[in-house]
Structure 1
């Protein structure tokens, strides 16, 4: 037990250990028997479905007050559970579930400072009177007291960028419209020195972008939705320029915006890409770039090539062949002021937020060998890679 505590204090060391299935301190299955079970079930099989509440929303009988954060590692589940219970809850009460999302991390007391960004005093749970909302919620459902809560809109969301709360009739906001922003470049979108562009016009015939993904030197995690050891890997909002200086990170940015734009809702990347490896990962990150260059991360995601079609069973890829990948970045709510730029990062690692793909195609957790892979991202007429952004008209929500 003392050795385990010491290992937790040196978290970054064990995070990099390979193979994943042979962590020295976890060879004794009495310490964490579930760990080997997780490694043995990389597919979304019956093992996981037994624990998956999202497959059982229709069995839920009680309502839930879903509280999450834009930088919470469980944001995706928070949003899906709210939507699932509202749509399929088995009782009228369950379909009265509510949603609150602030600019918060996981396992915090809802402060205004997140990472290295101060979202203002109004962003605090105390300022929102989150405790009061919870008391009203329980008074209504447990004590049969009419607190007026159900007469209010079911969704409260904090809009980053303008740093204020908004009430909504639904999630995503009814006024939201998905807009495709396409990737463009002259074939050199690598790093801050590259020529990558992002815009609403579809690409014509453009050369693809290439980068070398080396899992021995992965792109380091810099903030985002993390849990649960901030001393080792701090979560939240951080300047991404140290990451964006790397040649294995492709950057696609809009010109400075002529007027403010709000993005609130789900974010998805459709990527046409190839790899020299039999399996690999592709990552994406949405970033708000200020006029001085400060690049604040908003949300991110990843896709493992072998699970591009379904997470229920692995499907190998053919090295060199272009496939379409859908990368789920969950969601955000952010106003980009005039003069800011919208940026999309594309790479193949975000470690240790996500485990490294060894690029070998072998069974999950068994690799001690790490192989580099040459990655290709296409953006042309037939393979128009793009990010679907949730645009809310100003004053429309």
Structure 2
């Protein structure tokens, strides 16, 4: 296994380990309160592994292969022992996998079992990304004293609930995740690509509650749940752990990405920790959910290991952000950072954008056809997200753009971004999608952040308030700021059929004629937190 150790070291950009002589105990049996047995693998140095600080990872994605190397071998070579457990109903663990519902009870039982093992020392660190981070929040208010730190990455304490907003159903991510975890199919690159293409095509299926069958040949309960029940439904009782966050008693280091699906929730959790006076830090890089560098591993080996050994971790300000556009890291004391003030950039006639009030003008118009939905390009995606050239998207007739003159100085935007769009549709049900872009000297438009809101009563002129993803971005002198307005971003968000019918059962797709207003009485604007603007 030494070649794998060297390969992992190179790929993660890590210094040489303390040892490469690591052993694995496979299929340790962890009994749950109801008699179900969950399986776990323990990684440790061959010599001196017992009583080392322990990293606990609970995962639905297996314990072997690349997961075992990165989450097990790498920390075990560098001062830890590691226990990777397969959650209920996955990869040999008993019971049925009912996503996100069992993690509170099973997590607490697992912790109680772990700290009683003879090889467990006096310190435990909880670590992992996405689902592996959510399971940490599920137990955060009842941690035994042996737990010294949490390092949740690309996650939040409510997880699925972000997808289920009644004002904008996020479709692609929960659908792809649900069908991927529902079917245990043979691995392999070519087969995996074919599966992904089939699942993406399935999103075109109508009604949507048949898309899981189109993708997998069977019903997927998780998919049916997200289509049938919004965030307030009783079906989701018990999966929301937001109230546990302020009660967390150990230091927490959260790592997120500007194009990650869970970023707003992750920032909310960090703010809750800060408001409760807890020791917390937040790092946000230029990453998507599926494209993260070695930052979590380095944080485990510095922040996590120091606390596990009773030492102070390296000191740094609580918030560390990668500022896109400047392509550099910057440190701050809080989120949102101080010194950034809301500035309104108003949509203007003729596709202009400026801080001045708009003049009397007629609305701009476009037609949205859900049978040919405005596509998602880059941004917050399950795959293929991040920063992309928006030229083809902006050339579509169902996308409006508004652009400032060339900037004569840098404009730094850090914090929460919003938009207020005065809007009317020919249908009573419509969506408003707003995207912020940076246009460089060559005219290349690259997305910065975006968001969508669903509007009922849209056939009357009303102000649609859109929450865009948070950002830290510097618009360089010589660039321009651009705002896109459209009515969809498919399949990231479910397309609006225009009928008011449930997303699950709608089969009729009705085109809509949309109007965007920009006049003194209806001043549509994007609101940017700009440095020094007060």
Give the secondary-structure state (helix, strand or coil) at the position aligned to 1:353.
Answer: coil
Q: Deviations over 1:155-183 (max 9, x none)?
A: 11111111111111111221111111111
Is the CA contact (8 Å cut-off) linking 1:26 and 1:32 kept in structure 2?
Answer: no
Q: Which residue of 1 aligns with 2:426?
A: 276
Q: Give the match's secondary structure for 2:308.
A: helix
Equivalent-residue separation in structure 2 for 1:175 and 1:29 (angstroms)? 54
Mapped to 2, the partners of 1:44 and 1:145 lie a distance apart of 43
Give the C-alpha shift of residue 143 in structure 1.
2.6
The answer to whether structure 1 residue 63 and structure 2 residue 251 are counterparts is yes
| Superposition deviation, residue 24 in structure 1 | 5.7
Distance in 1 (CA, whole Å) between partners of 2:453 and 2:357 is: 23
- Greater relative contact order structure (CA < 8 Å, 6+ sep): 1
Which residue of 10, 14, 17 maps to 2:205? 17
Task: Give the whole-Å Cα distance in 1 for the aligned partners of 2:421 and 2:237.
Answer: 28
- 1:105 is the counterpart of 2:284: no
Query: Residues 107, 27 of structure 1: CA spacing in aligned structure 2 closer, same or farther, 3 A cutoff?
Result: closer
The one-character-per-residue Cα deviations of 1:345-382 (angstroms, maximum 9, x if unpaired) are 00001111111010101123111111001111111122
1:379 to 493, 505, 518: 518
Task: Give distance in 1, aligned partners of 2:301 and 2:506.
Answer: 50
Q: Does 1:52 align with 2:52?
A: no
Supply the distance in 2 between the matched residues of 1:86 and 1:25 (Cα, whole angstroms).
44
| CA positional deviation for 1:61 | 3.3
346, 351, 375: which one aligns with 2:490: 351
Residue from 371, 381, 396 that aligns with 1:216: 371
1:131, CA displacement in angstroms?
A: 3.4
Residue 293 of structure 1: aligned partner: 443
Q: Identify the residue that residue 87 of structure 2 maps to in structure 1.
A: none
Give, in whole Å, the separation in 1 of the partners of 2:216 and 2:314: 53
Assess if the C-alpha contact under 8 Å between 1:161 and 1:337 holds in 2.
yes
Q: Is the contact made by 2:242 and 2:269 (CA closer than 8 Å) also made in structure 1?
A: yes
Distance 1:49 1:58 in 2: 19
Judged with a 3 Å threshold, the aligned counterparts in structure 2 of structure 1 residues 99 and 9 are, in CA distance, closer, same or farther, namely same
Structure 2 CA distance for partners of 1:296 and 1:50, relative to 1, 3 Å: same
2:334 paired with 1:174: no
Match of 2:74 in 1: none
Cα contact 2:346–2:354 (8 A) shared by 1 = yes
Greater shift, 376-385 or 340-349, is seen at 376-385
Larger Rg: 2
Corresponding residue SS for 1:206: coil
TM-score, normalising length from structure 2? Answer: 0.61
Match of 1:160 in 2: 324
Question: Is the contact made by 1:265 and 1:390 (CA closer than 8 Å) also made in structure 2?
Answer: yes
- Report the CA distance shift for 1:9/1:246 in structure 2 as closer, same or farther (over 3 A): closer
Structure 2 residue runs of 5 or longer lacking an equivalent are 1-182
Deviations 1:104-152 (A, max 9, x none): 1113342xxxxxxxxxxxxxx4xxx653333222134333212343xx2
Alignment match, 2:508: 369
Distance 1:55 1:361, change over 3 A: farther
- CA distance in 1: counterparts of 2:496 and 2:332, whole angstroms: 39
Q: What is the CA–CA distance in structure 2 between the aligned matches of 1:130 and 1:263, rounded to whole Å? A: 26
Q: Cα 1:287–1:27, aligned 2, differ >3 Å: closer, same or farther?
A: closer
Q: Contact 2:205 / 2:214 at 8 angstroms: preserved in 1? A: no
* TM-score, normalising length: structure 1: 0.81
Cα distance between partner residues in 2 of 1:203 and 1:10: 47
Residue deviations 1:251-304, cap 9 Å, x none?
A: 111000011111111110011111111211110000000111110101110001
What's the secondary structure of 2:386's corresponding residue?
A: coil
Work out the CA distance in 1 between the residues paired with 2:255 and 2:356.
Answer: 37
Which residue is 2:268 aligned to? 80
The whole-number CA distance in structure 2 between the counterparts of 1:200 and 1:370 is 38
Q: 1:201 to 1:28 in 2, by over 3 A?
A: closer
Q: For 1:281-328, what per-residue CA distance to the aligned partner results, in whole angstroms no more than 9, with x for missing partners? A: 11000000011111010111000114xxxxxxxxxx1x5311221111
Q: 1:245 to 1:297 in 2, by over 3 A?
A: same
Where do 1:135-146 residues align within 5 Å? 135-146=301-312
1:303 corresponds to 2:453:
yes
Displacement of 1:44 after TM fit? Answer: 3.1
Note if contact 2:212-2:218 (Cα within 8 Å) is conserved in structure 1. no
Q: How many equivalent residue pairs?
A: 346
After superposing the two structures, state which structure 1 stretch, 372-381 or 23-32, moved more.
23-32
Q: CA deviation at 1:47?
A: 3.5
Greater shift, 101-110 or 59-68, is seen at 59-68
Compared CA separation, residues 354 and 336, structure 1 to 2 (3 A) = same
Q: Which residue in 1 is equivalent to 2:361?
A: 206
Q: Secondary structure at the match of 1:363?
A: coil
Q: Which residue of 2 aligns with 1:257?
A: 407
Q: How far has the Cα of 1:390 moved from its partner?
A: 1.1
- Please, what is the CA RMSD of the aligned residues? 2.4
**Counterpart position of 2:396:** 246
Q: Give the CA deviation at 1:7.
A: 4.5
Q: 2: distance between equivalents of 1:44 and 1:205?
A: 42
Q: CA deviation at 1:29?
A: 10
